[in-house]
Amino acid sequence: MKAIRFYGKEDIRLDTVPRLKCNSDELRVKVAYCGICGTDVHEYLGGPIFPPQPGQCNPHTGVELPVTMGHEMSGTIIETGADVAGFAVGQNVAINPSLDDRSYGMELCANCQAGRFNICKHWACFGLSAASGGFSEEVVVKAHNCIPLPDGVSLKAGALAEPLAVASHMIRLSGFQKGQTVAILGAGPIGLALLLLLRAQGASKIVISELTKSRALQAEKFGADIVVDPSVPPSKSAKSDAVQDAVYGIAPNGVDISFDATGIQATLDTAIAVVKPGGVVFNVAIHEKPLLINPNDFSFTEKKFLGGICYTNEDFDIALNAIAHGAVPVDDLITSVVPLEKIVEGGFLELIHNKASHVKILIQSSAS
């Protein structure tokens, strides 16, 4: 079968690889669509970050370079192992691409025992550090990796479940409750996913800060109450900057929760500044370098600083439910669909050179 494999920085290739064996506790899924994630672009530009280093193998899955890429996938089950219950050939699913102790038949670590499979001590990921990935014709996964698509959710929409599940997980961990006010720093794919789910879950006011004009327009279109360009000089009456000015306009004491979905010093500073005393600053971003925090900002106002990573299957259910209930404008989020063969020009290079025009580019794995 065909598969897009990562060899190293700026070196991904369309290869013909052997079909994988489907063991008795596994399912074979014919991939329909798989989104390109910011992580994939980071790997392309400067990896390997998550894939194994040259000459080494992943300690949990044993894979070496090259690895098949793609982890935001939907597809149709075409084979079920003899021991798999609850799934049938022909069923459409979204894939939770995480591997944890259950994937290796190991005794569960303390985190897995607590149901926190996303922070398993032996975590790995299809499409980055495992034997298959979504930029190919098929994946072979365990039953716990498959989340059935609800009625009315298309395979295209199903490929959006993974980025929406990230947003769901952050929202759940933040302790968000209906009626609260929120600020989101950054309107990239995850910032927009946060916006859509928070809107669906009853946030009273949402302020978004975004520099790029096209993304700011998307945030407006997707229901943000106020979208601020942080580079615009604030009004004379402003306390500090344009974002704080906008936040205090709707929440004079600060918002209940701020999500930093950008991850630079300026957005972290703003995220801390705009939260009310006792509120939650939530880090969604992944950082290449440490940033500075003054712990006094948390002590003196009893603000909390939290972070989160990935998702569990509950988050996929929440994401797919939101899609099924029409809370996600699927056609507006998917800005391009590109065949596997054109992934570099139509996908990676497009996201590098023409990022502002896109939210999510899907790769179509097979002609069907």
| Site for Zn ion, rule CB under 5 A | 100-101, 109, 112, 120
Give whichever of 118 and 365 is closer to Zn ion, judged by the CB atom: 118
Find the shortest distance in angstroms from Cβ 218 to Zn ion. Answer: 37
Give whichever of 112 and 184 is closer to Zn ion, judged by the CB atom: 112
Determine the residue type at 173.
L
Give whichever of 102 and 199 is closer to Zn ion, judged by the CB atom: 102
Find the shortest distance in angstroms from Cβ 121 to Zn ion. Answer: 5
- 204 CB-contact burial (10 Å; exposed 0-12 / middle 13-18 / buried 19+): middle
Give whichever of 74 and 312 is closer to Zn ion, judged by the CB atom: 312
Token duo for residue 114: 């607590």
Find the shortest distance in angstroms from Cβ 146 to Zn ion. Answer: 19
Nearest residue to 132 via CA among 254, 260, 23: 23
Give whichever of 120 and 184 is closer to Zn ion, judged by the CB atom: 120
Find the shortest distance in angstroms from Cβ 111 to Zn ion. Answer: 5
DSSP symbols for 201-270: TT-SEEEEE-SSHHHHHHHHHTT-SEEE-TTSPPPTT-SSSHHHHHHHHH-TT-EEEEEESS-SHHHHHH
Find the shortest distance in angstroms from Cβ 116 to Zn ion. Answer: 8
Give whichever of 77 and 112 is closer to Zn ion, judged by the CB atom: 112
Q: How far apart are CA 313 and CA 344, in angstroms?
A: 30
The torsion of the CA quartet 192, 197, 203, 205, rounded to 10 degrees, works out to 10
Give whichever of 110 and 306 is closer to Zn ion, judged by the CB atom: 110
Find the shortest distance in angstroms from Cβ 160 to Zn ion. Answer: 27
Helix-helix angle 161-174:189-200, to 10 degrees: 60
Q: How far apart are CA 216 and CA 193, in angstroms?
A: 14
**Residue 35 CB contacts under 8 Å (≥ 6 apart), including other chains:** 72, 73, 159, 160, 162, 163, 360, 361, 362, 363
What length does the chain have? Answer: 368
Determine the residue type at 341.
E
Give whichever of 112 and 334 is closer to Zn ion, judged by the CB atom: 112
Tokens 């090259």 sit on residue: 66
- 195 CB-contact burial (10 Å; exposed 0-12 / middle 13-18 / buried 19+): buried
Token duo for residue 154: 């298309």
Find the shortest distance in angstroms from Cβ 109 to Zn ion. Answer: 3
Find the shortest distance in angstroms from Cβ 313 to Zn ion. Answer: 15
